[in-house]
Chains A and B, each alone.
Chain A
């Protein structure tokens, strides 16, 4: 085999791989707009997000800040072996950035945060027009708020690492002859760990003197109420799938003597991709 033919084959493979990833593969059985992935299959929906965020963190300020938010979101459904209890995997990842102002437009707070949720789903109900997935989820929520006006308390951490529950619904229906799907997903953390300064403890003191025992908090719905809720419509556009929706993301906790709240409402637009996961074939 000559070098040029080897190069040409490699180029063809790369092009084929790009095509496979870029366009949904239409399995013959997939007549509906959004069927759950079978074993070795993965559906991934990558979306852009835009919306508004409200934040109030009494460690930084007594005021509620509000501003525009932009982000990226990625949702995934993966089919595991059907004989397993958790026959589906569900992931939700996002990163967001927001610049917020106080009610008098006098101060500015910037926020940067992200989620990584991984759910192990039991296919609780399976109908031709409805799927209900329920299962435990590992949830990681990390973010910071930066208040530009403050002196020795300019930044605070928002988030938690823990476990919770995930509920995922998919309704399939037709409207004027178009197949569509409505999806509603809910993540709720039930237990975990979070970090917070001890009342007026400056971060400089945490860095200098340690004593992290007072900064790590066990969280439960009693002191840390949080949820991520997605409502989305999946529409067929030629061979592809367009997903438009709303993601509501709320975190409110009371840790270290301060209230921390981050609440965003985001509109999402993205495309779905269904592909075979090669790693399952090994």
Chain B
């Protein structure tokens, strides 16, 4: 009996000890899923990451004629294992540049790979010097890139340089209080490259008195080009317990209004007292996520598409209610066509109220 027990003990001891190599094997198995750190391995890793996670392939095929499989074939011919890192970076940047998406980037020590044709292929419709002239020297700094003043014609003018940071509730209250007697408010988001969605929504919530459906969104739920989650409806609720603005609002946009600024234009557009004026925004409707190539380069890609209240993609921008173009003669005369048109629009609305 004792011998049997001893044998049992020995077997158990061996089993417990043998499980150590088993855990090592578990680790080895995971490593096999990675691509090699060679030009070909990095190329395939990038192509596959985009293929499985990028959310706009169908849209880009329809609007830009981009066939991702054809892109692979075309660029694979430029990849060889003896090419330099810099040459590889250039080829990979060109490949992802085919998507013409500001949220698609490749980051390395060499550069920040990007295709900003969504902005550079269009008129700027913006002059920083002119904007500064309208703001003057005594404008109020609301913090985090939110600057404002009351223009001579009693219209409030708010410049939002970026949505990287949220303007605090307290500061927003002070700003709206300062402009309480103004006839209207101009919110200038030209050349605002975006930031946090929560920052744009926090500002927008001051301009509605009721809950409004402003957009829809979903996210990639699988590796297939059409694997998406169900749609989530975004409702903009009025900011409770805080000051809200019910007078006319004009939002000035141009092609430099990108990402969260694009989102701001999208969610402001359905509001009753808000008018979008200027150029179509730059787009950037997909919430970006990141991954990494075997050589450590970071790739960013759009993975969660956003739609406006009418279920249209906003990847290519939000069209204004009133289209404007900066006139050269205005610029030379020191006049910002956008701001002047917005003032005229607000005054006209007051007259016809």
**Chain A residues engaging chain B, CB cutoff 8 angstroms:** 54, 56, 58, 60-64, 102-107, 125, 127, 130, 132, 147, 149-153, 167, 169, 171, 184, 186, 198-202, 204-205, 209, 214, 225, 227, 229, 231, 248, 250, 252, 257, 259, 261, 263
Give the tally of cross-chain contacts (CB within 8 A): 143
Given A198-B229, A200-B53, A252-B29, 7 additional A-B pairs, CB 8 A: A63-B34, A63-B292, A106-B296, A107-B298, A149-B292, A167-B12, A199-B221
Quick check: B295 and A104 within 8 Å, CB to CB? yes
Q: Report B-chain residues with C-beta under 8 Å of the C-beta of A64.
A: 30-31, 34
Is there an interface contact between A263 and B223, defined as CB atoms closer than 8 Å? no
In the complex, chain B residues whose CB is within 8 Å of the CB of A60: 290-291
Interface residues of B in 27-79 (CB under 8 A from A): 27, 29-31, 33-35, 37, 45, 49, 53, 55
| Residue B13 CB within 8 A of the other chain | yes
Report yes or no: A200 in contact with B303, Cβ–Cβ below 8 A. yes
Chain B 211-236 residues near chain A, CB threshold 8 A = 217, 219-223, 227, 229, 232
Q: Are B232 and A205 in contact (CB under 8 A)?
A: yes
Q: Give the 7 A-B CB pairs with smallest separation, nearest first.
A: A106-B296, A104-B296, A61-B292, A200-B220, A150-B290, A200-B303, A153-B289
Within the complex, the shortest CB–CB distance from A106 to chain B, in Å, comes to 3
Give CA–CA (A201, B20) in the complex, Å. Answer: 35
Q: Is the CB of A169 within 8 A of B16?
A: yes
Chain B interface main SS type: mixed
Query: Residues of B contacting A229 with CB < 8 Å?
Result: 16, 19-20, 23
- Known A62-B294, A104-B295, A250-B23; contact A150-B34, beta-carbon cutoff 8 A: no
Given A103-B37, A151-B300, A259-B33, the answer on whether A252 and B288 have CB atoms closer than 8 Å is no
Interface residues of B in 11-25 (CB under 8 A from A): 12-13, 16-17, 19-20, 22-23
Residues of B within 8 A of A252 (CB): 26-27, 29-30
Do residues B292 and A62 form an inter-chain contact, with CB atoms below 8 A?
yes
Check B293 for interface membership: any CB of A closer than 8 A: yes
B149-181 contacts to A, CB under 8 A, are none
Closest CB in chain A relative to B46 CB, distance in Å: 10
Residues of chain B with a CB closer than 8 A to A198's CB: 219, 221, 229
Q: Is the CB of A56 within 8 A of B30?
A: yes
Kindly list chain B residues whose C-beta atoms are within 8 Å of the C-beta of A103. Answer: 37, 294, 296
| A171 partner residues in chain B, CB cutoff 8 A | 13
B9 close to A (CB within 8 Å): yes
Q: Which of B172-218 contact A (CB under 8 A)?
A: 197, 217
Of chain B, the residue at the smallest CB distance from A168 is B16
List 18 A-B pairs, Cβ < 8 Å.
A60-B291, A63-B293, A64-B34, A102-B296, A105-B296, A106-B296, A106-B297, A149-B290, A149-B292, A150-B290, A153-B290, A184-B13, A198-B229, A201-B219, A201-B221, A205-B232, A227-B22, A250-B27
What size tier do the contact residues of chain B reach? 35 or more
A227-B9 in contact (CB<8A)? no
Minimum CB distance partner of B105 in chain A: A151
On whether the beta carbons of A184 and B222 are closer than 8 Å, the reply is no
B309 beta carbon closer than 8 Å to chain A: no
Complex Cα distance A205/B9, Å? 52
Which residues of B have CB within 8 Å of A201?
A: 219, 221, 229, 304
A198-B221, A200-B220 as given contacts; A263 in contact with B287, CB under 8 Å: no
Distance to closest chain B CB from A165 (angstroms):
12
- A127 to B6: give the CA distance in the assembly, Å: 10
B30 and A152 contact, CB distance less than 8 A: no
B5, A125: Cβ atoms closer than 8 Å: yes
Contact B27 A62 (CB under 8 A): no
A259 to B31, CA, bound (A): 11
Q: Which residues of B contact A259 (CB under 8 A)?
A: 30, 33
CA A106 to CA B293, docked complex, whole Å: 11
Give B201's nearest chain A residue, CB to CB. Answer: A208
Q: How far is the CB of B162 from chain A (nearest CB, A)?
A: 15
| Chain A residue contacts of B290, Cβ below 8 A | 60-61, 147, 149-153
B288 touches A152 (CB 8 A): yes
CB distance from B253 to the nearest CB of A (A): 23
- A227, B23: Cβ atoms under 8 Å? yes
Residue on B nearest A209 in the bound complex, by CB? B232
Alpha-carbon gap, A64 to B45, bound state (A): 14
Q: Say whether, besides A102-B292, A257-B223, A149 and B298 are in contact (CB < 8 Å).
A: yes
* B221 pairs with A61, CB closer than 8 A: no
Contact residues in B for A105 (Cβ distance below 8 Å): 296
Q: Is the CB of B289 within 8 A of A151?
A: yes
Nearest CB in chain B: distance from A164 CB, A: 13
Of the residues B20, B220, B296, B300, contact of A248 by C-beta under 8 Å: B20
| Complex-state Cα separation, A107 to B299, whole angstroms | 12
A104:B35 contact, CB within 8 angstroms: no
Whole-angstrom distance between the alpha carbons of A104 and B36 in the complex? 12
With A and B bound together, what is the CA distance between A132 and B12 in angstroms?
9
Q: How far is the CA of A248 from the CA of B232 in the complex (A)?
A: 43
Once the chains are docked, how many angstroms separate the CA of A198 from the CA of B101?
24
Checking A62, A214, A263 against B35 with a beta-carbon cut-off of 8 angstroms, the contacting residue is A62
Q: Which residues of the partner chain A approach B295 to less than 8 Å between Cβ atoms?
A: 104, 106
Cβ of A148 to closest chain B Cβ, rounded Å: 10
User: A63's contact among B227, B296, B300, by CB below 8 Å, is which?
Assistant: B296
Known: A62-B294, A231-B20, A252-B26. A151 touches B288 (CB 8 A): yes
Instruction: Name B296's contact: one of A107, A150, A153, A214 (CB within 8 Å).
Output: A107
Closest to B13 in A: A169
The CA-CA distance from A167 to B304 in the complex, in Å, is 46
Check B37–A104 contact: CB distance below 8 A: yes
Which of B5, B45, B303 has its CB near the most chain A CB atoms (within 10 A)?
Answer: B303
